[in-house]
Every structure is written in structure tokens, then in C-alpha cells.
Structure 1
């Protein structure tokens, strides 16, 4: 079944007046411009996963760099480690973008999800007036009632040899009784001054365009582009006791002290060893 543009949907799109549909035409007018990164913006009413769809299109040569695919509802949304991501229709921002950073060495592509985190946090601070912290490597945290909660996530996937698809999910207007788990949050619950998804999406994509351009111009160098410093400044993981669950049932426990030049989290263990972690499930360990 081919996804339909949300602008073509029937009257059901107005079923929740607190959650109006995105204006696809206005988004294209605001984001697609000569010389800019974003080449097309498509909004679909319902889809399994924007990431899966865009990876398929890229692999079949049906999408170029700067393609943006947005869904009002995802039925098979997922995060890292194949975790499910569920939310009511039009309650958040669920989108994927296709990037082809050909001038950047592949070894530095691991910075793309971290770059996206910085861009999303920067865009939301401007447009929603809410502070968003970053949990390494891909979670977006907000504060609800004095407690840190996950309000969003980022998933990067290779699409062939020369492309990366980055998916972003952000809970915008979810109410407490709609949260998938008690530890989740939303921009609304965090006291956002603006939950209109159109300007939020524009702000996030413009911020992503800015950071991606800066990183690409620096050949992917995280220090020269300012990305490494910006990520460290917004990373809630640094300075905390953490446990990294690694492949092979191995775990590393210690203080997260840095994010190195390869985007890895450096953990200072109790044995006095500084161990860089490139992939794993990070748990913030609260003091007893």
C-alpha cells in the first residue's frame, strides 16, 4: 500500500481538534529552497516506519539527499535495539531524513545521530522553550515534575554504501495517561510554551541543516565543526555513574567522563581504566 499524503486524507484528520494535521504545503514552502539541504518534504497520514520506507526508497534510487518523510502516525515505529515506539496519531513529530555525506570519511559517520541530537535539542529550545538534554547515544530527555524522562529518540541506519537515513521521534502533546511507559515524557508535560508541530518541525529541520552543513564543511571533524563541544555541553550522561550493557552479555560500570573524537562514550571504571564504548545500552545509575 502506497502511503498517502496527509493533505489528501479524509475528514478523520480533524477528529482531534487539539491535534491538527501538519500543513504539508506550508512545510515545503518553508523548507525546500534553491541551494538548501531539503529537497522534498512528504507528509503521510499513516505508515509502518518512516525509516524503513526511506531506506527502501534510497536503496531503489527513488530518494535523493535531503528527502524528508513525515508521518502523522507510525504503526511500527522503532528505536535502537528494535524497541517499539508508539504514540497516538498527530501527538508528536515522527520523521526521517536521507543524507549522503560523500565528502566525509565513513569513519566519522557515527557522529550523525549525535549531531542530530544536538540539532533537535537546539531547535526545540528555540521553538518550544523547553530544555532538552541528551542521553548518549540517542535519547532526548526532558524534565517533568523534577524527574528526567525520555521524550524522544534518534535512529540512524545505513541505506546502501553512500547514504544514511536518520529517524527522529519526539513526543509533543502526549498526556500522562497516554504515555507508553511511566518513565516517558512529552514537551507538553515538560511545560513547553509552544506545541504547534508545524513551527517545531521547521525549527528542528533548519537546525539540522545548519549543524549538518557545519559538520560536512569541516570534513566531519567533530572538534573543528564545534559538534563535539556542543554535544558534551548538552549531554546528561557525562559526569554520571553509568552501566553500559554491551553485546556478549558484558557490561561496563563507572563514571562517564567524555565523548571521544569517534563519538564513543568514555567510561572511567572502578579499576582505574578509561574504556571507550562505541555501542551499547546505557543506564544512568542513580546515587544510592
Structure 2
């Protein structure tokens, strides 16, 4: 097992028990049909997408890695963490044709709702969402990034949805100062199986309900919790904030995040009162002045 400088032993980071996870999550009629745990890989998204293209993975497959060496976030950013310090996994889904293409952008937002709710419910640590699919947590009085979600369409059909979460990272292990972890937010971090089970159970429930409703964000979602749109709005830390949107191509837009439109885009109101839907780009939360 590799260790971090200054930490000669990571015995407090036991490996995931794949058999326990399969017993809890893989069952007839459930959302997840197969689950694999690998010690290390470049990217679970890339591996699962390749398996899907080769006909070696079916919808409902879950691939979990103890360590990713080439993990990717949105906009091509890297995602790295010490072995066994987080949850790094991808799932293969097949929302079409039940879900129209124009509703697919709600899928990563739905995943954010599911993951955020499962984390808060399991650990007691409050989490929030930064549009579109970053997970936030408070470390002291600072808003830090706890994890992220990346959805990628697979040529020929299907969507690979990847999730990366910092669980037990210590302050000296953070990749950037703006990152956080459940441990730094005050959660008691032990075995990761219960946390991963909670996240995947929630994701399965939200996805199944949303797909059954044809991807309608106003009605589809977890029957026990509510619709995707309402749940996302309730957990979104971006809405109501002053923001800067760094747009593809190098432009930027400043204003207030006022709403989500029917396609899941962030609507930003500028100083002149005009509203601009933003479907892609990087959103920066600005401090109140």
C-alpha cells in the first residue's frame, strides 16, 4: 500500500470489501446489476466507457477504484487523492429512449442531489451543491469542494456517470487549498462501505424515478423525497449568489444566479435586468461586498 509523506502507515484506511458491497447493492430488479472494485486505475469513467463500447459492460454496472491516477473532473481538470482516501466510482446508465435528449443535462444534477443527500444523511455533515455538479462542505468558515460529478455519453448509447468524493483526506494531502474532505468537515470517518452503499442506493432511487417520468425534472425523482428540480434548488448554494461565469471561448458573465431553466441551465441576471441561461462553463461564487 502506498503512503503519504509523513504518514508511514495508512492502516486507518482499510480496503473496500467488494463482497459486502455486492450483497448490499446487487439484487434482482435493483438499479445495479454488477459491481467491481479495482485497486488502481487511470480513470473509472474511461475504463467503463471502454468496456461499454466493447460490449463488455451493461447498464447498471458499477466500477469502483481505490485509487485513480488520471481521474478527470469537469473542463478536463485532474482529480487525484491518496489510495483509499475517498470514493471514486463510475456507473453505466441507459436513460434513452425513455428520457429525451434535451432532458439528459438533468442527469448530473440528479446525481448531485442523490450524493449530497446520502452524504449528509449518513455522516451528519451538511453538504451543498455548486452548479452544476460540485459538492461543497464547510471546513471551518470556508466553503470547500468535497467532490465532483462527471457525465459522459458513450458512442452507441449509454451514459457513464463518474463520482469522486474526498472522505478521509488530511489537510496536508489536499490537492489544492480550496479542496475539503468529510474528515476535515468534522465527520467521523471509518469504513467506507456504508457510505458508498448509501450513495449508490440514493442514486439508484433518484435515477429510477426520474427515468420512469421520462426525465421530467418537475415530477420525476425519488418518490420518497420529491422531484429533481425542487430537491436541487433546495440544496444549491449557487442560487441567489453573486457569480462570475467563465464561459467557453474565454468570455465571462457577471450577475446573480436567479434560477434553473427547464434544461437545467443556470440563469444569471445581469446589472441591466437581462437574464442569460448558461449551459456550460465554470461558475465562481463571488463574495458579498
Alignment-derived partner of residue 35 in structure 1 = 29
CA contact (8 A) 1:70 1:96 kept: yes
C-alpha separation between the residues in 2 aligned to 1:272 and 1:199? Answer: 47
Is 1:143 the counterpart of 2:144? The answer is no
Alignment TM-score, normalising by the size of structure 1:
0.94
Whether contact under 8 Å (1:242, 1:256) holds in the other structure is: yes
Mapped partners of 1:267, 1:161: distance in 2: 34
Matched, 1:224 2:219: yes
- Aligned equivalent of 2:95: 101
> Per-residue CA shift, 1:247-274, capped at 9, x if unaligned?
1211111000111110000000112101
How many residues are paired up? 278
CA contact (8 A) 2:2 2:83 kept: no
Deviation at 1:165, TM superposition (A): 0.3
Runs (5+) with no aligned partner, structure 1: 1-10
- Secondary structure of 2:41's match? coil
Establish whether residue 69 from structure 1 lines up as the match of residue 28 from structure 2.
no
Residue in structure 1 matched with residue 282 of structure 2 by the alignment: 281
Of 4, 10, 20, 2:14 maps to 20
TM superposition shift of 1:196? 2.5
Does residue 1:52 correspond to 2:53, yes or no?
Answer: no
Give, in angstroms, the shift of residue 217 of structure 1. 1.2
Q: Distance in 1 between matches of 2:93 and 2:37?
A: 18
Is 1:82–2:76 an aligned residue pair? yes
Deviation at 1:194, TM superposition (A): 4.2
C-alpha contact (below 8 Å) 1:172/1:195 kept by paired residues: no
In the aligned structure 2, how far is the partner of 1:260 from the partner of 1:274? 11
- Matched with 2:170 is 175
Shift, 1:193, TM fit: 3.5
1:7 aligns with: none
Counterpart-to-counterpart distance in 2, 1:195 and 1:251:
42
Mapping of residues 176-195 of structure 1, within 5 Å: 176-195=171-190
**Separation in 2, partners of 1:260, 1:121:** 21
Q: Does 1:133 align with 2:133?
A: no
Going from structure 1 to structure 2, the CA distance change for 1:246 and 1:22 (only over 3 Å counts) comes to same
Cα pair 1:50 1:69 within 8 Å, conserved: yes
Per the TM alignment, residue 12 of structure 1 is displaced from its structure 2 partner at its CA by 7.3
Task: Give structure 2 stretches of 5+ with no counterpart.
Answer: 4-8, 221-226
Give the whole-Å Cα distance in 2 for the aligned partners of 1:250 and 1:178. 33
Within-5 A mapping of 1:204-243: 204-225=199-220, 226-243=227-244
191-200 or 108-117: which moved more? 191-200
Cα distance in structure 2, aligned partners of 1:87 and 1:243: 28
